Structure 1
Amino acid sequence: MFTSKLKHQVMEKKIFVNLPVKSLEASIAFFTSLGFSFNPKFTDENATCMIVSENIFVMLLVEKFYKGFTVKEVCNTATHSEVILSIQLSSKQEVDEFMAKVLSAGGIEPREPQVYDFMYGRSFQDGDGHLWEVFFMDESAMPQ
């Protein structure tokens, strides 16, 4: 008699965030100065794939190309917010060092740092007005 065990294989999930940009070259320059790298396999005159981590990527798409994926209007980031992208870092010092790079690369810090007993975070806008946060969280210090 033939018996078999069904092995459930879980595909490792990856996240691809898609953002419209006005100038791909300017966006690449900005994020390169922050220490990000790009996958050349997914880079041409219309788009690039920014590597955030092993499983998280940001596709920066020229607005005209981006519009080919949606019937909706592209968000006016000067007046509206479509998303806030948050990246966890390993220390408060790393958050401040990262933000120093952001500001020297031309990013804007739209609000004061957020300080809690267990978390420290700062926000920035990239050249296209997309909102980002970098934060450090000490889960052991979180209130119960």
Structure 2
Amino acid sequence: MHFSTAGSIEFSDFESDEDVNYIVSYWYKLGSSISVTGGSELNTTPGLNGWLCATALVDNPTSLIINVGAGSDIDNVRAYPEQAQMVTYTHYPGVGISSVSDQNNMTSYYKYDAFDRLISIFDSKGNMLKSYEYYYKNKP
């Protein structure tokens, strides 16, 4: 699931008396207009199907604002202290994990069969990392 929206996403209530830098990362669709107020872009990594992952550094914020242009697609927005590490999980309700974004913003995707059994795991470039097969054993 991702959001196609216009406006801003704001994070507030940062400890203003601490000298802590924050990392902001988010996935956006190629052609989207998105910026982080007060942030300097660190890098952009390509993903699948036209999605890109942007990472920005914000120096000692009191609030963080992500400006999203009209018709822009944004997903998996994360903000955390520079010295921290974050892992994000998404789920298929009642089935299992659908994706995991690790500390380096590398995402693994999980695929399930019609019986909700895990059948494969793919990396952020669509390469299969693992596959699973299930066999039934007949009872005598």
TM norm. shorter chain > 0.5: no
Greater percentage in strand: 2
Higher relative contact order (CA 8 A, sep 6+): 2
Greater percentage in helix: 1
TM-score interval, normalised by the smaller of the two chains: under 0.3
